[in-house]
């Protein structure tokens, strides 16, 4: 007999922990995702060339780009509202959340926090509206987890700066109008705003990805790129400035990964209650129910962790190692959920007709970018022991 059913995030009445305004933002983003992303995203993923400009305008019109920032056309939303937004976008696809993360939490945040007033006025309002797309170039082909060893250089030449180097795996790069580029100078690592196109800059698309295909990823090669002094982000001094931007984006991922996991789990429960083998729904087997229950417990624990971090952020108490706890746990558990769901769907689990395999392969990127699991483990270990195990 079929008893009453409850959704995995409804089980603990987690909604009651959100304010009315927070629920309203969540519902708005869910509607946008349902109307303008979900019906098309499987095709974008298959084609590997998503309509980033159009998407950015839609997200900008809804006030979702750089939404945590204040002024310059930004929404000034709370950390929890931003987290819920990431969750709903990533429930559609990690690549779409990545577009918003890189635009708002990396490129816009770098300008907002470290830029001059002129730079903020020039770029932020158009970026918030989604008219201008930004990217963030920290990683290099030979320096990913260890950006402090970067070899991209910026040297003074009269009043100008001249940049040479190679930035790899850069989200939004193939369509970007401006790149935040981190480079080594005689005064340490500094951040620069590079308008695109600029002579000496070559951007190429990385098209052989098997993950995050609904996101544009590229390489940026800088060959004696001459920039005026005004291209320097005046407040961005040292690797610390670049890493401070990552905290923002990593926080969004703590929530976003849960969105992908939730979509997998909801899809799988619907599948399992209707798919019959041995004369009964596979959801009726105890082994299947154990899997569904375990995944729900992890999803709900991840939500509580994300919400705790959000409340800390909204009261100015969030520290980088706390974000590492969230990124490590929630991405690891989301990936485990996606893989388990994939198996419950059997052969259909590998089909593009269901979102599960797409989420699973996307989460492989999410596990790696914004600090791998190993890096976040070592951040936590350093905080616990006072000893750095990075080198």
Contacts of 144 (CB under 8 A, 6+ apart): 168, 169
Nearer CB in complex with ligand FAD: 138/295: 138
Q: How far is CA 330 from the centre of its chain?
A: 13
Q: Does residue 206 touch ligand TGC according to CB under 6 A?
A: no
Cα–Cα distance between 375 and 275 in angstroms, integer?
40
227: partner contacted, choices ligand FAD, ligand TGC, none (Cβ within 5-8 A by kind) = none
Q: 223 near 200, Cβ under 8 Å?
A: yes
Nearer CB in complex with ligand FAD: 85/368: 368
Residue 244, helix vs strand vs coil: helix
First to last CA, the chain: 59
Nearer CB in complex with ligand TGC: 72/251: 251
At closest approach, how far in Å is the CB of 378 from ligand TGC? Answer: 7
Q: Does residue 239 touch ligand TGC according to CB under 6 A?
A: yes
Q: How far is CA 15 from CA 6, 10, 192, 270, 333, in A?
A: 13, 7, 42, 21, 21
For residues 110 to 139, the per-residue mask of contacts with ligand TGC, x marking binding by CB under 6 A and - elsewhere, is: --------------------------x-xx
In terms of phi and psi (left: phi > 0; alpha: psi -120 to 50; beta: otherwise), the region of 223 is beta
Residue with smallest beta-carbon separation from ligand FAD? 144
The reply to whether 370 belongs to the active site is: yes
Contact set for ligand TGC, span 155-194 (CB under 6 A)? 171
Given the residues 122, 364, 370, 374, the one annotated as active site: 370
At closest approach, how far in Å is the CB of 273 from ligand TGC? Answer: 34
Q: 31 near 52, Cβ under 8 Å?
A: no
43-51, 75-83, 290-298, 363-371 -> range binding ligand TGC (CB under 6 A): 363-371
249: partner contacted, choices ligand TGC, ligand FAD, none (Cβ within 5-8 A by kind) = ligand TGC
Q: Does residue 236 touch ligand TGC according to CB under 6 A?
A: no
334: partner contacted, choices ligand FAD, ligand TGC, none (Cβ within 5-8 A by kind) = none
Cα–Cα distance between 384 and 382 in angstroms, integer?
5
Q: Does residue 243 touch ligand TGC according to CB under 6 A?
A: yes
Site of interaction with ligand FAD (CB under 6 A): 102, 135-139, 144-145, 169-171, 212, 217, 365, 368-369, 372, 374-375, 390
Q: Does residue 249 touch ligand TGC according to CB under 6 A?
A: yes
142-150, 276-284, 307-315, 342-350 -> range binding ligand TGC (CB under 6 A): 142-150
Query: How do strand 188-195 and strand 178-185 relate by DSSP bridges?
Result: antiparallel
41: partner contacted, choices ligand FAD, ligand TGC, none (Cβ within 5-8 A by kind) = none
Q: Based on C-alpha coordinates, what's the Rg of the chain?
A: 21
Token readout for 179 is 């790149």
- Pick from 98, 103, 267, 268: which binds ligand TGC (CB under 6 A)? 98
Nearer CB in complex with ligand TGC: 282/334: 334
Q: Does residue 367 touch ligand TGC according to CB under 6 A?
A: no
Residue with smallest beta-carbon separation from ligand TGC? 148
Q: How far is CA 325 from CA 5, 253, 313, in A?
A: 32, 12, 14
- Pick from 238, 281, 284, 381: which binds ligand TGC (CB under 6 A)? 238
Beta strands in the chain, from DSSP E residues, in sequence order: 70-71, 74-75, 134-137, 153-157, 160-171, 178-185, 188-195, 201-205, 217-227, 232-237, 276-277, 280-281
Query: How do strand 178-185 and strand 134-137 relate by DSSP bridges?
Result: parallel
In terms of phi and psi (left: phi > 0; alpha: psi -120 to 50; beta: otherwise), the region of 96 is alpha
Q: Does residue 261 touch ligand TGC according to CB under 6 A?
A: no
Which sequence positions are flagged as catalytic? 370
**Residues in contact with ligand TGC by the rule CB under 6 A:** 98, 101-102, 136, 138-139, 145-148, 171, 238-240, 243-244, 246-247, 249, 320, 369-371, 375, 379, 390
């Amino acid at each position: 007999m079929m008893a009453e059913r409850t959704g995995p995030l409804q089980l603990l009445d987690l909604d009651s922990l959100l304010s009315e305004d927070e629920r309203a933002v969540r519902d708005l983003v869910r509607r946008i995702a349902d109307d303008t992303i979900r019906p098309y995203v499987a095709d974008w993923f298959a084609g590997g060339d998503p309509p980033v400009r159009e998407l950015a305008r839609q997200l900008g019109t809804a006030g979702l780009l750089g939404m945590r920032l204040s002024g310059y056309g930004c929404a000034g939303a709370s950390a929890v509202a931003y987290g819920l937004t990431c969750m709903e976008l990533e429930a559609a696809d990690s690549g779409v959340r990545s577009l918003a993360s890189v635009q708002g939490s990396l490129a816009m945040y770098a300008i907002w926090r470290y830029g001059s007033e002129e730079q903020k006025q020039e770029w932020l309002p158009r970026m918030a509206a989604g008219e201008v797309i930004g990217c963030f170039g920290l990683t290099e082909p030979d320096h990913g987890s260890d950006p402090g060893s970067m070899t991209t250089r910026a040297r003074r030449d009269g009043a100008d700066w001249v940049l040479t180097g190679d930035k790899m795996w850069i989200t939004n790069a193939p369509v970007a109008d401006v790149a935040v580029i981190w480079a080594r100078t005689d005064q340490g690592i500094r951040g620069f705003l590079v308008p695109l196109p600029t002579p000496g800059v070559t951007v190429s698309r990385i098209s052989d990805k098997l993950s995050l295909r609904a996101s544009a990823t590229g390489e940026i090669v800088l060959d004696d790129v001459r920039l005026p002094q005004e291209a320097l982000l005046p407040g961005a001094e040292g690797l610390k400035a670049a890493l401070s931007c990552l905290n923002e984006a990593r926080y969004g991922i703590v929530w976003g990964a849960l969105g992908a996991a939730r979509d997998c789990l909801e899809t799988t429960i619907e599948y399992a209650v209707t798919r019959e083998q041995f004369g009964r729904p596979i959801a009726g087997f105890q082994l299947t129910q154990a899997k569904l229950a375990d995944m729900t417990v992890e999803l709900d624990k991840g939500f509580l962790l994300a919400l705790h971090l959000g409340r800390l952020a909204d009261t100015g108490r969030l520290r980088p190692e706390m974000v590492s706890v969230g990124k490590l746990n929630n991405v690891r558990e989301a990936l485990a959920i996606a893989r388990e769901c994939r198996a419950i769907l059997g052969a259909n689990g590998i089909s593009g007709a269901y979102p599960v395999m797409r989420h699973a392969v996307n989460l492989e990127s999410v596990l790696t970018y914004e600090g791998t699991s190993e890096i976040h483990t070592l951040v936590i270990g350093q905080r616990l022991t006072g000893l750095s195990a990075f080198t």
